[in-house]
Amino acid sequence: MTEEQGDRRVRRTKAMLRGALTELLKTKPVNEISVTELTRLADVNRGTFYGHYKDIFDMVEQLENEMFQEFSDLLHAYPADALKHGLRPILRDVFEFLQRYGDLSSALLAGDRDTRFLEQLKAMVAERVSLEWGRLYRFDNPREQAFCLAFLVGGVVGLIQSWLEGDRKETPDELAALSEAMILKGIEGLNLPR
């Protein structure tokens, strides 16, 4: 077996385990999922599972770390200069990322894992927004800047949660346009009927 074939096999095995974990997380918290149950659903040998992970919590942590690394790379691909002409490209990429990891993200956000996933998501968005928006917009009052940041991060993360917990009918493009309009113009900018 070539190295490439081995890598492909590992990726396929991990994808099957991730899919099974996602399915199980829809019906029960992570601390109630057993390796036996997971491997049976994934049709993977227990030994194979232990070749990649110490236990279920290790698997979840590794999956979260992989997702957050990819999310961080996505956020850092857009410096402040790229955002001067609008937020839609980065917002579209964020929603496409979340669509790709939709079921797993939704399961992790809904789970009872001490809200670690949600808090890390908020922290990453807050860090990036405060860094880049600090370069784009001038705030005379640091307290006002902190309130704006809290409002923006809470709104974006709330929108993400609503979308992931719902039926996800809206496309990443539609959500990017809606988010951009609310962020830059507020609700008044949406031209809603009165």
Calpha distance 18→38 (Å, rounded): 9
Global pTM reads 0.76
Q: Report the CATH architecture of 1-53.
A: Orthogonal Bundle (1.10)
Per-residue pLDDT, averaged over 76-93, amounts to 81
Between 7-11, 57-61, 102-106, the lowest mean confidence (pLDDT) is in 102-106
Listed in order, the ranges of the chain carrying CATH 1.10.357 are 59-190
The count of C-alpha atoms lying within 13 angstroms of the C-alpha of 175, restricted to the half-sphere facing its C-beta, is 25
Q: Which two tokens stand for residue 91?
A: 């917002």
Residue 177 predicted with pLDDT over 70: yes
- H runs (alpha helix) in the chain: 3-25, 35-42, 46-52, 56-76, 80-83, 88-100, 102-110, 116-136, 142-165, 172-185
Residue 9 predicted with pLDDT over 70: yes
Q: Which fold is adopted by the domain 59-190? A: Tetracycline Repressor; domain 2 (1.10.357)
Indicate the residue type of 83. L
Listed in order, the ranges of the chain carrying CATH 1.10.10 are 1-53
Indicate the residue type of 174. E
